[in-house]
Amino acid sequence: MSEALLQYVKDRQLLLILDNCEHLLQGCAELARSLLQSARAAKLIASSREPLRIAGETTYAVPALPQSEAERLFVERARAAKPDFRLNGAAAAVAGVCRRLDGIPLAIELAAARVRTLPVEAIAARLDDRFRLLTGGDRTALPRQQTLRALIDWSYELLSEDERAVFQRLAVFAGGWTMEAAEAVCSSGDVEKAAVLDHLSGLVDKSLVVMDADAMRYRLLETVREYALERLEESGAGDDARTRHLHYCAAFAEKARPELTGPRQGEWLARLDIERENLLAAHAWCERAPNGPELGLQLVYLLRPYWLNRGLLGLGKRLTVDALMRTGAQARNFARCRALSVAGQFCYFRGEHEEAQRYLEESLAIGRELGDRGRVAAALQPLGMAHLSRGDLATARRYLEEALALAAELNEPREIAAASNQLGQLLRVEGDLDRAEALYNRMLELSRQLGDRDTTAIGLLNLAMVAISRGRAEEARRMLLDVLAIMDETGSKPAGQSLLEVCAGFAALRKEWIQSARFYGAAEAYSAQTGIRRDAGDAAFLEPLISAARKALSSELFTAGLLGYDAASAEARVWLS
């Protein structure tokens, strides 16, 4: 048969098509090579879930349908199933179905066929159980094309036992992974770490794993991940894989923490952005993992600067409180002491000062019980600020002065910088700008030595407020431009919000009342979004200036022209320049 075929094509100019080669890969590869050698003028197209790997082969990965085409396909198939189907108000639901089905044509066709008995919104709601929902395809089609499960079964059955184990374990990742992460999580049992690369490469070749070559990351389509999760649970290896994933995430966060206050801050914040879904999955698994309570307390401490920088205070607080409330996390030890301090800081930044005091006072008490002066100093700083925000200046002074003295005894530059800044805030509330400015300058010098860009921005903002209060406009302008440059590196949401507030005060000082109102309105709107509230020192600077702007403008003018955060930041850049 093959000899006759080769003889037939020998002198012909042809386009030959081999379809579904994956189940007979070796045979198809040999046939393709022989055909191309015999018929020099022939071209060959082979469809397969993995390459044939013969000389001259060029692979083209067939992409998922673009969103617009996926939605069009859904509507066409829905009308074929139910001729009177109309989108009406279901356009958003159709878009959501197509997105969650990853643009896979068969999955979309099967979902669209369900409109005979279910509204689109109900189909969308049932996609968590998509393999039961998406059945009943064309009876004349091949079995693997009649249900979504059979479609993926077809590829899964081609895998070796080790490839199946790796495929299943990859399902614990949320939002993708790196090769390093895959090696850490998937090398267990019979799968050695050195073999994970080959197995992952095989899964990419078999179109079960998607690779983003530019970012050097991998991911599973949501539909494929749901299938892999089912297989993982059937294997009984789910708990082990999730625990390995938790340990990997904890180690990654440990590595990231010192970088979040150093010169590579922007780079590491971006890396944490990419891993956010994995970190949230790790937090959730602490509820069931061996040693989960301790790892949960560790994670919330390590990631505090990240949640704060990204303006995700509500999420950071919820995760921290969950970790503190978890069974097994109540021992009065170092880990709980740190996590209590984190919870108190989130509450303080959100303006929840009474709740902040409760967490911080417990943290302070545990720190004193342990004789850990570092933890005592760390709790005293936000605790003093919480008292300051509640108007108790005497207690605030006592705590903040003790914090600064302890930081100096420990010779910890970072803690000295933080305590100097907090005491400066108290002095600014009291109107002692000279001593406040000296402390801010001390803090700025230390933060620059440490390469801590976020803390440097805070120091510049505080010094700019002092300069504005003293009428030194040009000095303030230069400082605020420096803050903008830091924001470009780190994307700090608290610094961005504070910059708009300072610009509002600066514009009021220059009697640019409408500009002041625009910056102030944008800052207030962003504060409502992030939950970040002004501290007492910043309020002492801003409130008199905004009061003057309100008096200078009608209420209609003061609230007109409200800007979003990004637009206001761009306007501030132009205005300062």
| Alpha-carbon distances, residue 438 vs 394, 428, 452 (angstroms) | 21, 11, 19
DSSP secondary structure code for residue 89 in this structure: T
Please tell me whether residues 124 and 221 are part of one structural domain. Answer: no
Please tell me whether residues 464 and 512 are part of one structural domain. Answer: yes
Please tell me whether residues 168 and 227 are part of one structural domain. Answer: yes
CB neighbour list of residue 509: distance below 8 Å, 6 or more residues apart = 468, 471, 473, 545
pLDDT score recorded for residue 140: 44
Report whether 491 contacts 273 (CB < 8 A).
no
Domain for residue 293, yes or no? Answer: no
pLDDT score recorded for residue 271: 95
Report whether 421 contacts 459 (CB < 8 A).
yes
Please report, for the domain that includes residue 217, its CATH number: 1.10.10
Please tell me whether residues 125 and 220 are part of one structural domain. Answer: no
80/76 Cα distance (integer angstroms): 6
Q: Residues 71-82, buried b or exposed e (16+ Cβ, 10 A)? A: bebbbebbeeee
Give the pLDDT confidence of 410-451 residue by residue, as tens digits: 999 999 999 999 999 999 999 999 999 999 999 999 999 999
Asked which of 102, 123, 152 is the last residue of a domain, the reply is 152
576/309 Cα distance (integer angstroms): 23
| R_g (Cα) of the chain, nearest Å | 30
Report whether 394 contacts 429 (CB < 8 A).
no
Average confidence score pLDDT of the chain: 89
300/416 Cα distance (integer angstroms): 23
**Phi-psi category of 275—alpha, beta or left, where left has phi over 0 and alpha has psi -120 to 50?**
alpha
% of the chain surpassing 70 pLDDT: 97
Give the pLDDT confidence of 49-71 residue by residue, as tens digits: 778 788 878 887 777 788 888 88
pLDDT score recorded for residue 142: 47
| Confidence grade of residue 261 (pLDDT, cut at 50, 70, 90) | confident
| Confidence grade of residue 320 (pLDDT, cut at 50, 70, 90) | very high
% of the chain surpassing 90 pLDDT: 60
pLDDT score recorded for residue 16: 79
Domain for residue 42, yes or no? Answer: yes
User: Which range is most confident: 79-88, 156-165, 281-290, 483-492?
Assistant: 281-290
pLDDT score recorded for residue 45: 86
**Cβ count within 10 A of residue 314:** 13
Domain of 566? 452-576
pLDDT score recorded for residue 136: 59
Structurally, the chain folds into a number of domains equal to 4
User: Which range is most confident: 154-163, 365-374, 565-574?
Assistant: 365-374
Domain for residue 512, yes or no? Answer: yes
Please tell me whether residues 534 and 502 are part of one structural domain. Answer: yes
Instruction: Read off φ and ψ for residue 420, nearest 5 degrees.
Output: -60, -45
Of 15-29, 281-295, 527-541, the one with minimum mean pLDDT is 15-29
Q: What is the mean predicted confidence (pLDDT) over 315-327?
A: 97
pLDDT score recorded for residue 44: 81
Domain for residue 462, yes or no? Answer: yes
| Confidence grade of residue 171 (pLDDT, cut at 50, 70, 90) | very high
444/456 Cα distance (integer angstroms): 6
Q: Is the pLDDT of residue 397 over 50?
A: yes
Q: Is the pLDDT of residue 144 over 70?
A: no
Q: What is the mean predicted confidence (pLDDT) over 220-244?
A: 93
| Confidence grade of residue 141 (pLDDT, cut at 50, 70, 90) | very low
Please tell me whether residues 456 and 537 are part of one structural domain. Answer: yes
